[in-house]
């Protein structure tokens, strides 16, 4: 027989456990222990015939799950591109989860739909995007790229008199899709999901930082989509989007910007130059769960031609309140039902303000430069121009680099991942967490340099 704990007691117990987790996060090892990971097997069991007490569900989650988490919210996690969730966003997220609103339609959930609209307009202003831009609150940059490219598909076909939503792709005129050779794989995935075929894209040569050279663009003929990026996932480099727009837009091409983290540079007066000319593009994908530091999952697609996005995404049905004085969030997203992820975004923006966002971006960038300087001083070459929050460091050949990275991950002071940048193995450091301090960088540098030097000595013996 299932046993229910009084609601307040159950939720307070969850909150207490969450608070303990977050309070211990800065001091805890970044890596989970082998024992904790092995313990995860305790979750694997047949589904109970009759349920268990709700509090025991929570207890098992905490006892088995908590120790096996990777300390991604902590200040010394530098893998992938991972934000750490500002406390105010965790708090707002908890409250919004308690509300459990389905934010699809304004009339049904006016509070959350209004918060999303407000957050959308604030970001359009923050990034300096065209006023007419509309946005979709999606799961992450993968789906933001997909949604943006769905709008692009709608528009480039509409321009040649083809209604792709109604008539599909069979028999449709061909579309040229141009991407840089260092395009993020999620853009390619989006292209595949849209039915264009992952292998049909035309890849353009890029420079040593991963940037497209506008002089090497082919001549544009017929329906064309050009995918650019703001912030390469390895180097942090920016395509010269303004120059690319100047070259291709007069010929009717749609320009998309994958700015999963790099778009946030536009919010910092010191880094906005990296986004020069971006406003001329047609769509921009970004993440809030990266550099805005809100909880997973939270991505954003911004599209200048909101009607194109709406045509690609909206649905009608007699039972849905699709007519509304205000925008219906689900008119712009692949999903109908979804959580009110705009609440977390609104909370972060309201708490930080414009200057707070800029300061957070600048702090991460200056910590990235501190990493690069410390590593170079210790004799390890940095492979990229550290223009943003990404650092690529080489420890020599692939086997040695992987060995050192494995040892750094096992040490637990910090967590950095591996990559291969234009044929050379490297360690990636991505500084994206609001709470990372100079002291965290110095502690991490000490550990990285100690391990890298001892592994080099070990190998030489």
Ligand X SMILES: Cc1ncc(COP(=O)(O)O)c(C=O)c1O
Q: Nearer to ligand X by C-beta: 214 or 299?
A: 299
Which residue sits closest to ligand X, CB atoms considered?
A: 140
Q: Nearer to ligand X by C-beta: 297 or 359?
A: 297
Instruction: Work out which of 120, 141, 288, 383 binds ligand X, going by CB under 6 A.
Output: 141
Q: Nearer to ligand X by C-beta: 182 or 455?
A: 182
Measured from the Cβ of residue 223, the count of other Cβ atoms closer than 10 Å reads 23
Which segments within 221-335 are labelled E, that is strand?
224-229, 254-258, 283-287, 299-303
Q: Nearer to ligand X by C-beta: 142 or 311?
A: 142
- Pure H helices in 386-435: 398-411
CB of 230 to ligand X, least distance (A): 8
Paired tokens of 139: 């799961």
Q: Nearer to ligand X by C-beta: 180 or 223?
A: 180
- The site for ligand X, by CB under 6 A, has a size of 15
Instruction: Work out which of 75, 84, 140, 329 binds ligand X, going by CB under 6 A.
Output: 140
Residues from 174 through 213 that contact ligand X (CB under 6 A) = 184, 186
- Phi then psi dihedrals of residue 431, to 5 deg: -100, 105
User: 256: burial class by Cβ within 10 Å (0-12, 13-18, 19+)?
Assistant: buried
DSSP state at residue 384: S
Residues from 382 through 411 that contact ligand X (CB under 6 A) = none
Q: Which of 144, 152, 110 is nearest to 289 (CA)?
A: 144
Q: Nearer to ligand X by C-beta: 264 or 332?
A: 264
| 142 near ligand X (CB under 6 A) | yes
Q: Nearer to ligand X by C-beta: 81 or 294?
A: 81
CB of 17 to ligand X, least distance (A): 27
Residue 329 to residue 109: CA distance in whole angstroms: 10
Residues from 233 through 292 that contact ligand X (CB under 6 A) = 233, 258, 260-261, 287
| 299 near ligand X (CB under 6 A) | yes
CB of 110 to ligand X, least distance (A): 28
H or E element, residue 92: helix 87-99
| 30 near ligand X (CB under 6 A) | no
- Phi then psi dihedrals of residue 5, to 5 deg: -80, 150
CB of 432 to ligand X, least distance (A): 9
Q: Which of 228, 226, 246 is nearest to 177 (CA)?
A: 226
Instruction: Work out which of 81, 265, 343, 364 binds ligand X, going by CB under 6 A.
Output: 81
Contact of 270 with 241, CB cutoff 8 Å? no
CB of 231 to ligand X, least distance (A): 6
CB of 268 to ligand X, least distance (A): 18
Contact of 269 with 242, CB cutoff 8 Å? no
Q: Which of 39, 54, 38 is nearest to 1 (CA)?
A: 54
Q: Which of 234, 335, 345 is nearest to 298 (CA)?
A: 345
Q: Nearer to ligand X by C-beta: 92 or 232?
A: 232
Please report, as ranges, the residues that interact with ligand X according to CB under 6 A: 80-81, 140-142, 184, 186, 229, 231, 233, 258, 260-261, 287, 299
């Amino acid at each position: 027989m299932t046993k229910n704990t009084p609601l307040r007691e159950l939720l307070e117990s969850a909150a207490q456990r969450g608070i303990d987790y977050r309070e211990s996060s800065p001091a805890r090892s970044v890596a989970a222990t082998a024992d904790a990971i092995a313990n995860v097997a305790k979750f694997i069991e047949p589904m109970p015939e009759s349920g268990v007490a709700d509090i025991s569900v929570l207890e098992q989650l905490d006892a088995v799950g908590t120790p096996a988490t990777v300390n991604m919210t902590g200040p010394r996690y530098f893998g992938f591109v991972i934000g750490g969730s500002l406390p105010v966003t965790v708090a707002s997220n908890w409250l919004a989860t308690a509300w459990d609103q389905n934010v699809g339609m304004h009339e049904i959930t006016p509070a959350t739909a209004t918060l999303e609209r407000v957050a959308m307009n604030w970001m359009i202003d923050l990034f300096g995007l065209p006023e007419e831009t509309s946005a979709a609150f999606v799961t992450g940059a993968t789906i933001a790229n997909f949604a943006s490219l769905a709008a692009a598909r709608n528009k480039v076909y509409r321009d040649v008199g083809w209604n792709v939503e109604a008539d599909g792709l069979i028999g449709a005129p061909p579309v040229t899709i141009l991407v840089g050779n260092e395009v993020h794989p999620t853009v390619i995935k989006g292209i595949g999901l849209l039915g264009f075929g992952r292998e049909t894209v035309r890849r353009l040569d890029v420079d040593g930082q991963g940037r497209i050279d506008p002089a090497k663009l082919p001549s544009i003929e017929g329906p064309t989509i050009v995918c650019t990026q703001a912030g390469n996932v390895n180097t942090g480099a920016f395509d010269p989007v303004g120059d690319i727009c100047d070259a291709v837009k007069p010929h009717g091409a749609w320009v998309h910007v994958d700015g999963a983290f790099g778009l946030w540079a536009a919010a910092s007066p010191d880094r906005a130059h990296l986004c020069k000319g971006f406003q001329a593009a047609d769509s921009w994908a970004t993440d809030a769960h990266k550099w805005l530091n809100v909880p997973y999952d939270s991505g954003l697609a911004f599209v200048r031609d909101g009607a194109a996005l709406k045509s690609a995404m909206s649905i009608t049905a007699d039972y849905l309140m699709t007519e509304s004085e205000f925008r219906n969030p689900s008119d712009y997203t692949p999903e109908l039902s979804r959580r009110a992820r705009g609440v977390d975004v609104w909370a972060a923006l309201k708490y930080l303000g414009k200057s707070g966002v800029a300061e957070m971006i600048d702090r991460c960038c200056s910590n990235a430069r501190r990493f690069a300087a410390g590593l170079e001083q210790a004799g390890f070459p940095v492979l990229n121009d550290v223009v943003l929050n990404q650092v690529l460091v080489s420890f020599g050949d692939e086997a040695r680099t992987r060995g050192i990275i494995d040892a750094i991950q096992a040490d637990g002071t910090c967590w950095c991942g591996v990559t291969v940048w234009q044929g050379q193995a490297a360690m990636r450091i991505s500084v994206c967490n609001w709470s990372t301090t100079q002291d965290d960088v110095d502690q991490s540098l000490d550990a990285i340099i100690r391990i890298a030097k001892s592994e080099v000595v070990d190998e030489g013996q």
